[in-house]
Structures are given as C-alpha cells and as structure tokens.
Amino acid sequence: MNWTEGVVWGVSAVVTGLLIGLLHKKGVLSRVPAVIVFLVLFIGGNLLWSAVVKPHLVSNSEEQKVDQALAELPLYTTIKAQEPALYAQIRSNILKLRKEGKSQQDAINTVKPMVSVLLTQRISHAPDANVNEAMQVNLEEMQTLQARKDGSCFKFLYPQVSGGINTAQVLPPELFQKDLNTMNDLLLATGSGQTEQPAAVSTERVIAMMAPVREALGNMYGEQLQMFSDLTKPDVDREKVCEISISLYSGILALQPADSAAILRQMLGAKP
C-alpha cells in the first residue's frame, strides 16, 4: 500500500468509525456489535479493494497508457486500420510484456518482429519508390551501426545468429523515427486502396540485373564472400560481413530504381 492509499484508508476508517459511533449513540447498535460491524466493513472493504477494485483500476490504467502510446505512432494507427486482428495481437503482447516487468518502450520494441513479418508480406507488391526508400533507410541504419564498431550492425542484420538489438536505444532518434515513417508509408502504399501492382519480373531477369553487383563484390572481397555460407562459425569476421552487406545493398540501390526495386522484392519479400 502506498502513502496515498494509506491516507485514503485512514480517512475511510475515521468516517466509518464516526458513522458507526453515531448509530451506537442513537441506540441502533450496542458496543460489541458496533465494533464487529466496524471491523467487518473495514477489513472487508480492504480485501475488496486489494483483490478486485485496485487490480481492475491498475489494469485499465495500463491499457490506457499502451493505447495512448500506440496511438501516437502512425505506424500502429495504420496497422490498426488495415490489420485489426494483428493490431489486437500486438496490443495483447505489449500488455503481457508490461505485466512481466518490461518498460512500455521495450515492450513496443519487442513486438517489432510482428510488424516486420507484415512488411515482408507487403514489400512483395509495394511500389518501386517505397521499396527503394525503405532499403535506403535500412542502409543508413547499417552504416550508423557499423560506425559504432560494437557488433550492433551484425546483430541488426542477422538477429537469428546473435540476437537482435533495440534500435530505439542505439539509433539516433531522428533516424529511428525516419524508419518508422518509412515503414508506415510502405503500409499505406500497399493497403486496400492500392490500384496498381508492380510489373512482375522473372527470377532469371533479376539474376541478370544483379550481375554487375555480384561482379563488383567478387572483385572487392573475393574469398571473404564464403563467410556468408555459414555465419554461425566462430571465425566469421562479423565486422567484415556487415561491410560486405552494406556494399551489397549500396550496389543494388545504385541501379535503376525499377531494377533495384525488383531485386529487393525478390530478396526481402515473402516467398509464395
């Protein structure tokens, strides 16, 4: 019980005592029944507050805080409108994580993979401009994390190998917000109102478009590219892997916008 609750219960006890005392003076209650009634009301009220009322109020308060936090992020407002079932699942998971002791921001960041799954599905048919913009922001994030030289770039790119990172904590706030805005733009561009689908590009065509990028990487890194065959090996140079990944995506984005978008859709989009 905190100090405020203590004051409330103290006042309640005084008021209850005065009312019962008044009934006792008027002869409605004798001394012993009055004491019993006071104890029953006070202890029963305390139990009712602690077991039912307080948890309900705390739960409602926490839900309101989470709802407000999500409402302030356009990305989640869009998900709520486009994918209500997914939004309900995200909200439920955040509330569960809060009960487990995670901070509100950490809980929101923890459910980001659920958003990533949706984005992977949407990028398969997103307009060229949105695909390239999303990758450009990701490239900026890679370069920023690589400059830290603390392994965060590799964790960002390959969380399945060494665990992910909390981008809200390690990225500059403006870049983190830019990422959220770009993801939101991609979802808005691929919602129910999308009228035009990007032209289908065959795998053979994508391989041909990638040829100059592959050649450049081969000339720059040679046998070091073999590290990508198994990134879990202890001798993998993770800084070098991140450097190569940055070169890869930089090379792709240097192509014509339609070509880079077609390549990225096949690389990053959900497979049918």
For residue 61 the two structure tokens come to 């308060």
Half-sphere exposure of 72 (CA within 13 A, CB side): 9
For residue 137 the two structure tokens come to 């922001």
For residue 125 the two structure tokens come to 């048919």
- 219-230 per-position pLDDT tens digit: 999 999 999 999
Look at residue 124 in the predicted model and tell me its pLDDT.
92
Half-sphere exposure of 213 (CA within 13 A, CB side): 22
Full-model pTM: 0.74
Is pLDDT above 80 for 39? no
Q: What is the DSSP string of 163-185?
A: ----HHHHS-HHHHHHHHHHHHH
Look at residue 36 in the predicted model and tell me its pLDDT.
54
C-alpha 112 chain-centroid distance: 3
